Each structure stands twice: as C-alpha cells, then as structure tokens.
Chain A
Amino acid sequence: MLPYILRRLLGMIPLFLGITIVSFLVIHLAPGSPVTIQTDLNPKMTAEARERLRKFYGLDKPLHIQYYNWVKHLVTLDLGRSFSSDGRPVLDKIKERLSITIFINILSLLLIVLVAIPLGIFSAVYQNSLFDRSTTVFVFLGFAIPTFWLALLLMILFGIHLGWLPISGLKSINYEYLSPLNQLKDRAAHLLMPVLISAFGGLAGLSRYSRSNMLEIIRQDYITTARAKGLSELKVIYKHALRNALLPVVTILGLSVPGLIGGSVIFETIYAIPGMGQLFYSAVMMRDYPLIMGELVIGALLTMLGNLLADISYALVDPRIRMR
C-alpha cells in the first residue's frame, strides 16, 4: 500500500506543474490585464502612470520569466501579493475567507449526505411508490429552483414577515456585546438559511445516485441468494445491499473535497457572506493573476489529494479492489 501511495504522490508533481502552466497561460490570454482594468477610462491616468503600474506588478517582463518568478516564490510557499489595490499577500486573503466557506460547505455536505442517502435508498426499495415519486419531484425542485430566487423569498418570509431569522451576513451588528451563548445562537441563526438552501440544491445529485445504485444492486445475484437463504427483507436490504450501494458514495465524497473550498458566487452575494466564491469571481474580473493562481493551486492540490483519498479509502472498504 505504501509504495502505491508514494508512487501516486510522486506522479502528482508533473501533473501539478502542468496544471499551473496551463492555468498561467490561459489567465494571461484573457483580454485586459490588472493594470488596464484598474485604470481604464480613468481620466486621471496617464500612459506613464500606467507603465509604472505595469512595472510595479512585473508585467513588463516576458511571460516565461513571470512564470519562473511565480514558481520560484511558490517553492517557498509564497503565493505572492494580490494585484488588486490592497496589495495584500494572497495567502492572507485566502485564509480569512477559507474558514467560513469550508464551514458552510461541510455543514451542507453533511446535511446532504444525511438526507440524500436515505432518500435515495428508500426510493429504490419502494420504487415507483408515492414516496419515490414525491421525493423525485422534491429533489429536482431543489435542483431546478434558482438559488437567488428561493433565497429572496425565504428572506422575505423569515426575515421580514415572521422576523425569526436574520436576513444576511454572518453576525449581528451587536455581536461583540452578546454573551458567549447568545453569540453562538446568533451565528447559528445566521447560518441556518444559507446552509439549508445550499443543501437543498445539492440533494438531487447524491439521492439520485444512491437510488440508481441501490436499484442495480437489488437485482444482483447475491441478493437473490440472500433472499433464497430465507433472510428477512430487512437484513437483505440493510445489510447486504446497503453496504455495497454505499461504495460509490465514497468516490463522490472524495471528489467533493476540492468543492469544499469553492464557494458559490450567487449564493454568497445574496447572503452577504464573505467567502471564496466572491473572492475568486472578483479576482477573475479584476485579472488579479496571483490571487487567481493561488486559488487554482489550492484547488488543484485538493482535487488531487481528494482523488488519492478516494482511491485509498476505496481500497480500504472494498476487498475486491485491494486484491488487484
């Protein structure tokens, strides 16, 4: 097992470099540069001042030198400074937004797993029943309803008419004057709507997936065998079938690791949550090269690690794979 992991890890290095080269090129191919976007149509801007800014950001050098400089810094884990006018280190900018995004994503992922898998399993076991049909409608509604629209409706209902929940943001304005218990309550109240809404949209995928898996497995020979042995239906379904049906879920969970750091722009914008989605979006719009690269690097690393993790845990839970 260990040599396998090592081999995989080593193989990641060229893959990772390849990813950075392609990203670097693509980003620079897009029209406009951080300098032009900051200064376009600004009457105070002179050609000389623009040239100064280009120099300041090192954009006057050839592309391969720029890439080399970037990699040189990366080796020392320095992602550089943002090209936006705050000029802060990229790592700081990412750090301060990462925790909230990961927190919300983990909560909503947990919720999705807890709700979607049982939904999927029951739908498969009671295929074509009323329950199956209504959950299908329910999860697809969640998938199809535009987040921003549902979010606004819920804000009006819970925030304005009922007054039960805060409308947006992470904390109340008087947060620092609250007791620790009330601070906790305040945070939870702020998170409730965003987490519910983001989970609602994600139910469809996983529940459909576990449903079709389960359907497939119920038709397998070993299930027939189990039934033939005279096992109770409960045991057949929840012991023999369920275990196997859950296998692919491991892969899906592994693949959602990089998703944990990616936020959704629309969703964060609506709820005024300062997360990664907004940061990445504005970085792209402002052509903030170091920040874009920083986020891509972290995303790429997590994707590769997530894949590896999924493969390893797959081997752990499925003896058939381990044997090969």
Chain B
Amino acid sequence: MRNIFLCFILGILFTACEKTSDQPDARKETAQNLTSAPPACGDAIIEGSIGDASNLIAMLAADSASHDIASLCYNGLVKYDKDLNLVGDLAESWDISPDNLTITFHLRKGVKWQDGVEFTADDVMFGYQTIVNPNTPTAYAGDFQEVDKAEVIDKYTFRVKYKKPFAPGLASWGYVVVLPKHILEGQDITKSPLTRAPMGNGAYKLKEWKPGEKIELVSHHDYFEGRPYLDGFIYKIIPDTATMFLELRAGNIDFMGLSPLQYLRQTETKVFQENFRKYKYLSFAYTYMGFNLLNPLFQDKRIRQAISYAINKNEILEGVLLGLGEVATGPYKPGTWQYNPAVKTYPYNPEKTRALLKEAGWVDTDGDGILEKDGKHFEFTVILNQGNNERRKTAEIIQRRLAEVGIKIKLRTLEWATFINEYIDKKNFEATILGWTIGQDPDLFDVWHSSKTHYKELNFISYKNEEVDRLIMEGRHTFDLEKREKAYFRIQEILAEDQPYVFLYVPYALPIIHKRFRGIDPAPAGITYNFVKWYVPKPEQKYTIQP
C-alpha cells in the first residue's frame, strides 16, 4: 500500500517508479491502482479549525469559520471559478443592460432546498429584503444599498437596478444573500433556528453542532450538481495550532493549514511523506507598512521611496515566512487578471535611500548616526497589534535596516481594540504594520479613495490622489473587463510610484491534506473551490458516515 500512496502523485511518479523498478510486483500494483481508483461516494474529511463558527446564516456572521460552513450549505446566484472568473451558480446566466445599470439573472430551474421546496426568485428577493432591512444586524448591507430597485420578474427571473453602474455589485449575489423564504418569512432572523441549523440549497447539510467541539455536515444527495463524493465533512475545533498539528500527525484530522515552520521543517518526516500531501499557493492577503500621510514627515514622496529602498523585502520574506510567500508590489495578488507585473519596484538599495534623503534635506550633522533636518531627528514610532508575531518580526527587521541608514524607529505593541479605536481610527499614529485581505473583486474604493478618510473608514493613512480617485470610479462603473484592467493597472503604477504603503509580502497558504483524498486541483482560487468533487477511492475509505 505504501508504494501505491507514494506513486500516486504524478509529480513524484518518476522517482518513485525508479526506486521500485527492481520490484516488478509493486510496479504492477501501482499501475493497476492508478487506473482503478475511480471516484466513489463515501468517507469523510476532518478539517482542523482554530475557531468555532458563530452563526450559520451567513449575512449575520463576520467570522471565517461561519462562512466556511455556510458556504457548504448554501449556494448563491454567482460564484468564482477556479481561475477567479465570476460564473453562474444558481443563476444559469445574466444580462447586463447597455447602460450598465440593470442586471437580470436567469435562475436554474428545479433546484431544491434541502427540505424539498423549490428554490425560486422569491428566495433571492427575500434574501435581498432581509439584508437591507435596518433591523438585520449585518455587515454586508453596503453593496446592496447601491441597489435602486429589485424585482421578481417571474419564478426564475430576478432583476436588480443600481443607482449608478456598480461592477462589484455582481459578485455580491453569492451565497450570503440567498435565504429560504418559506421558512424565514415573518420571523425574527436573529432568533431563527437556522442560525444554528441551516436549511440550505447547497451540497452539505448539518448533522450535529457541538459548540466548541465540532460541526458535522453530511452530504445532500439531491444537490443540484449531483451528490458530492464525500459523505461527511467534520469541522473539528482545536484552538491551539501545536495541538492541531499533533492531531494531524496522529491521523485524527485530515486537513489543516500549516505554518511556514511546520511546512518546511516538521512535515519532512517519513510519516508525513507517506500519508499526506502538501499544497502551496498565494493566499488572498498582503502585509504592508503604512504611513500616516497627515504627518509632515511622510508628505514628501521621496521620503517614502527612500524608506522603501532601505527595506529588504526578500530578507523579511526569508526571516518571517522562511521564504514561503512573494514580495508584494501593490494591493493585488500576483497572477490575477488585475495584477500589474510591471510596476516600479524598490529593491534593497541603501545608497539610493541615502541619496534621496539627502536630496530631501536629511543629513547626519551631529554624527550620532541619526539623520537631522532643521534640528530634528528622523525618528518615528511604528504601532503594531498584539498577538501577531509575523508583524512583530517584520517590524524588527525593518527597525534594523532603517537604523543603518540613520532613521530611528520605535515599536509599540497594543491590544487590538485599543490599537484600532485609539490610534488608527483617531489617526493618532505615525506608521503601522498591518495586513489586508485581498478581495476577489479588484475594487479599491474603500481603502484608497480620498473620500474614505473619515472616522473609522479604511483610508486611515489619508491617501489622496485625484487620478487614483478617478480611476477607482472608472473601474467601479463599468463591467467591461478590459476597461477595468486598464484602470487598475494604472492605479498600481501610481501607488508603486507614490509608496503610501511600503508593500511587503503576500504569504502562501500552506494546506496539508491526507493522501487518500483525490480530485484536488490547485488553481488560482486555491483548492477548496471544487470540494464537492473530492473523493476517496473505495478501498482507501476510512470513515463510514450514517446520515
């Protein structure tokens, strides 16, 4: 059996076969098994998660665990495919009116809720009305408040008209906004049993939820895309990652995300190589150092560029992520259609830093190793949130490099709520190291538009650039991908030139999965986009799930 496992991955097929070439039996068995491992229903996958879900009505939850589970139980009108293109899910197709204001969705016929009632345009309408209802405590109302009018044309046709053309709006019609009207109508959604036990239209349904312990889902045999292969999905809550890793090693969980250290140093043993497969792809997030642009110190572009030249991003990548990531050059993930690979970069170059700073008037006149201008030292404080080791390490590496060019920085770590409420929100900081998750839609309005600099808004560094503002609105108001691409490419060039952030790195996601699972196909979207197609060949199935 060991050899079969070893040989399964095509990537290592050659080496493995070389090793076993003097053992004809093993080789025959291998070849046989490769062809005779057809997809089969059955078995379950156990995923380790550090947090429990909170609410399985997705629009009421903001945590990733709840969305992980809810997205298996509910499908929406649209979804992103493996290459991050927006495709129909419960909508077979959609038309966009020539003025870009109206989207008409044509729904798939015959899709059923898990209780057998048919899914129709009324359910979409109900979901929309619920999400914009002022009494619904949801964080997702924003995109839907751009809607001018929503109407049900017939059972299978749903139409929305926006106040202004709104490209990010299309993607918002996902699983978050679809709810079973026949169950929830007239109820207080926040107290509905569906918050704990979903009644969805998706591939999985809830079997049991033991708070703080596990969430167990079983497959929905009448799923509209066909019965999912895996009968069970168990979400096991293990808050400590070291414990989770030991459970993985002991074979009690099948699937978890690894830290760079675990990926490189702790999973190279025989046990792991024989039983697990590791994956590596860019995650949807980046880390940056942002400057408060209201502070006179950072208003000169040359200063920001100088600091960027003084920071060795590759060194940070090595030191913090053991090389498991890529250097970020802008707010997008490398490899996506909106990512511009040809922007200005700032490779480590302390000479350039010194030249730029000198040009801006910063010189070390008193010989204490710190630059001065008008009698003031070049020093500032970088604030960090507590509990994020990666950011802390990043900051320390930056601190050392900047000291070398005569800039003194102090680091200050704060508890999250204090960090946000007292410092970021009040713009009471000089610089900070933070991260953003990268949305699948390239819209940058919330973080980069100059109108978003008010209290609690996300352009807290107060970046203001008229051309960027105009391009953001351009990209937002058209569905034409070419036009959008052009706008976003240009924005990236401007941001790279302006360096309001020093873009640092995009880390890799590093999932590890037991070898018995097949059908996993890493793509720009990650690996879980085709979860319903994962399977375990009959002879290797481990668990039996009774529905």
**Which residues of A does B touch, CB under 8 Å?**
30-32, 36-50, 52-53, 56-57, 84-88, 93, 96-97, 148, 152, 155-156, 159-160, 163, 166-171, 173-174, 268-272, 274-275, 278-279, 285, 287
Give CA–CA (A94, B139) in the complex, Å. 26
B196, B421, B447 — most chain A CB neighbours (10 Å): B421
Q: Are B418 and A32 in contact (CB under 8 A)?
A: yes
- Within the complex, the shortest CB–CB distance from A187 to chain B, in Å, comes to 13
List, in ascending order, chain B residues with CB within 8 A of A42's CB.
62, 139
B138, B214, B252, B417 — most chain A CB neighbours (10 Å): B417
Q: Provided the pairs A44-B139, A272-B237 are in contact, do residues A84 and B54 lie with their beta carbons within 8 angstroms?
A: yes
The residue that B135 contacts in the complex, of A43, A56, A87, A275, with Cβ under 8 A, is A56
Q: Are A152 and B417 in contact (CB under 8 A)?
A: no
CB<8 Å pairs between A and B, sample of 20: A32-B418, A49-B139, A49-B141, A52-B137, A56-B135, A85-B55, A85-B61, A85-B137, A87-B195, A159-B250, A160-B249, A160-B250, A167-B243, A173-B234, A173-B236, A272-B213, A272-B237, A272-B238, A272-B243, A274-B210
Q: Are B46 and A173 in contact (CB under 8 A)?
A: yes
A30, A40, A53, A148 — most chain B CB neighbours (10 Å): A40
Q: Are B239 and A269 in contact (CB under 8 A)?
A: yes
Chain A: CB-nearest residue to B213: A274
Judge whether B15 is part of the interface by a CB distance below 8 angstroms: no
10 pairs of A and B residues whose beta carbons are closest in the complex: A274-B212, A32-B417, A43-B446, A86-B54, A269-B239, A272-B238, A56-B137, A85-B54, A31-B421, A31-B418
What 7 additional pairs, Cβ within 8 angstroms, besides A57-B137, A173-B234? A36-B456, A37-B416, A85-B60, A88-B196, A169-B213, A274-B211, A274-B237
Q: Are A31 and B250 in contact (CB under 8 A)?
A: no
Number of interface residues of B (CB under 8 A): 57
Give CA–CA (A42, B142) in the complex, Å. 11
Judge whether B134 is part of the interface by a CB distance below 8 angstroms: yes
The residue that A160 contacts in the complex, of B52, B134, B190, B246, with Cβ under 8 A, is B246
The residue that A167 contacts in the complex, of B214, B252, B415, with Cβ under 8 A, is B252
Chain B: CB-nearest residue to A30: B417
Give CA–CA (A53, B139) in the complex, Å. 9
Q: Are A167 and B250 in contact (CB under 8 A)?
A: yes
Q: Are B420 and A159 in contact (CB under 8 A)?
A: no
Q: Are A155 and B420 in contact (CB under 8 A)?
A: no
List, in ascending order, chain A residues with CB within 8 A of B422's CB.
31
Judge whether B485 is part of the interface by a CB distance below 8 angstroms: no
List, in ascending order, chain B residues with CB within 8 A of A50's CB.
456
Q: Are B211 and A43 in contact (CB under 8 A)?
A: no
Give CA–CA (A44, B145) in the complex, Å. 11
Contact with A along B92-117 (1 / 0, CB 8 A): 00000000000000000000000000
Judge whether B294 is part of the interface by a CB distance below 8 angstroms: no
Give CA–CA (A77, B211) in the complex, Å. 23
Q: Are A155 and B243 in contact (CB under 8 A)?
A: yes
List, in ascending order, chain B residues with CB within 8 A of A46's CB.
141-142, 145
Q: Are A85 and B250 in contact (CB under 8 A)?
A: no
Q: Provided the pairs A45-B142, A49-B138, A87-B55 are in contact, do residues A156 and B246 lie with their beta carbons within 8 angstroms?
A: yes
Q: Are B143 and A44 in contact (CB under 8 A)?
A: yes
Judge whether B376 is part of the interface by a CB distance below 8 angstroms: no
- Within the complex, the shortest CB–CB distance from B390 to chain A, in Å, comes to 17
List, in ascending order, chain B residues with CB within 8 A of A278's CB.
212, 239
List, in ascending order, chain A residues with CB within 8 A of B196's CB.
86, 88
Give CA–CA (A50, B491) in the complex, Å. 29
Give CA–CA (A222, B145) in the complex, Å. 84
Judge whether B479 is part of the interface by a CB distance below 8 angstroms: no
List, in ascending order, chain A residues with CB within 8 A of B521's CB.
none
Contact with A along B114-156 (1 / 0, CB 8 A): 0000000000000000000011011111110100000000000
Give CA–CA (A168, B253) in the complex, Å. 11
Chain A: CB-nearest residue to B415: A31
The residue that A39 contacts in the complex, of B62, B63, B190, with Cβ under 8 A, is B62
List, in ascending order, chain B residues with CB within 8 A of A174's CB.
543
List, in ascending order, chain A residues with CB within 8 A of B480's CB.
none
The residue that B243 contacts in the complex, of A56, A163, A168, with Cβ under 8 A, is A168
Residues in B220-267 with C-beta less than 8 Å from chain A: 234, 236-240, 242-243, 246-247, 249-250, 252
Give CA–CA (A96, B138) in the complex, Å. 26
Q: Provided the pairs A167-B250, A278-B212 are in contact, do residues A38 and B420 lie with their beta carbons within 8 angstroms?
A: no
Q: Provided the pairs A31-B422, A86-B195, A87-B191 are in contact, do residues A270 and B243 lie with their beta carbons within 8 angstroms?
A: yes
Q: Are A49 and B142 in contact (CB under 8 A)?
A: yes
List, in ascending order, chain B residues with CB within 8 A of A155's CB.
243, 246
Contact with A along B451-464 (1 / 0, CB 8 A): 00010111000000
Q: Are A167 and B137 in contact (CB under 8 A)?
A: no
The residue that B213 contacts in the complex, of A45, A163, A170, A287, with Cβ under 8 A, is A170
List, in ascending order, chain B residues with CB within 8 A of A287's CB.
417
Q: Are B421 and A36 in contact (CB under 8 A)?
A: yes
Judge whether B439 is part of the interface by a CB distance below 8 angstroms: yes
Judge whether B66 is part of the interface by a CB distance below 8 angstroms: yes
Give CA–CA (A168, B246) in the complex, Å. 9
List, in ascending order, chain B residues with CB within 8 A of A152's CB.
242-243, 246
Contact with A along B419-458 (1 / 0, CB 8 A): 0111000000000001000010000001100000010111
Q: Are B250 and A45 in contact (CB under 8 A)?
A: no
Give CA–CA (A52, B133) in the complex, Å. 10
The residue that B420 contacts in the complex, of A36, A43, A269, with Cβ under 8 A, is A36
Give CA–CA (A85, B51) in the complex, Å. 14
Q: Provided the pairs A155-B246, A173-B234 are in contact, do residues A53 and B137 lie with their beta carbons within 8 angstroms?
A: yes
List, in ascending order, chain B residues with CB within 8 A of A36's CB.
417, 420-421, 456
A38, A41, A42, A96 — most chain B CB neighbours (10 Å): A41
Q: Are B142 and A87 in contact (CB under 8 A)?
A: no
A88, A152, A168, A269 — most chain B CB neighbours (10 Å): A168
List, in ascending order, chain A residues with CB within 8 A of B238's CB.
168-169, 272
Q: Are A40 and B139 in contact (CB under 8 A)?
A: no
List, in ascending order, chain B residues with CB within 8 A of A41's CB.
420, 434, 458
Chain A: CB-nearest residue to B172: A44
List, in ascending order, chain A residues with CB within 8 A of B457's CB.
47
Give CA–CA (A274, B211) in the complex, Å. 7
List, in ascending order, chain A residues with CB within 8 A of B55's CB.
85-87
